[in-house]
């Protein structure tokens, strides 16, 4: 992996944590460097980026400590996703809300245009990327 690609991935984490980059901006940047998918692990506070050629990169994603809810609530996860789409909260707040909803992490499938959120017992909720606006 090129150093420049690693720097872009690290900048996406930083921009997300600081509220400077939106999800669509992050997806555009990661897609531009060939990232196929990534996994956000709330327990380890890290994101692992995967390229199609088998390379990967782990980047620390420190967030405020929060308890993970016992039962997974797909409805609460979906509500937090909608709030994000309307720019009603920060990524840090999104993490807290989805953790309270029993989410322990998620996989973003860039090429498949979907995000799969999952709980500790294997429960999951899939969100498709919203349609891109036509310009």
> Domain spans of the chain?
3-128
Give me the pLDDT at residue 92, please.
93
Cα(87)–Cα(72) distance, rounded to whole angstroms?
24
Give me the pLDDT at residue 132, please.
66
> Is the CB of residue 101 less than 8 Å from the CB of residue 76?
yes
The residues with which 56 forms a beta bridge, in sequence order, are: 50
- 89 dihedral zone (left: phi>0; alpha: psi -120 to 50; beta): beta
Mean pLDDT, the chain cut into blocks of 10 residues (135 residues total): 94 94 94 97 96 96 88 97 92 95 97 96 94 59
For domain 3-128, which architecture applies?
2-Layer Sandwich (3.30)
What tokens were used for 14? Answer: 């930083």
CA 33, 52, 132 angle in degrees (round to 5)? Answer: 55
């Amino acid at each position: 992996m090129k150093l420049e690609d690693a720097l872009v991935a690290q900048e996406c984490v930083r921009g997300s944590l600081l509220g400077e980059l939106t999800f669509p901006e992050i997806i555009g940047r990661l897609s531009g460097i060939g990232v196929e998918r990534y996994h956000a692990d709330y327990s380890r506070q890290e994101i692992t980026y995967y390229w199609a050629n088998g390379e990967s990169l782990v980047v620390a994603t420190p967030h405020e400590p929060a308890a993970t809810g016992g039962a997974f609530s797909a409805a609460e996860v979906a509500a937090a996703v909608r709030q994000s789409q309307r720019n009603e909260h920060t990524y840090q707040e999104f993490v807290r809300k989805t953790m309270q909803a029993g989410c322990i992490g998620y996989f973003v499938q860039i090429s498949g245009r979907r995000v799969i959120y999952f709980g500790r017992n294997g429960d999951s909720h899939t969100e498709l990327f919203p349609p891109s606006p036509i310009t």
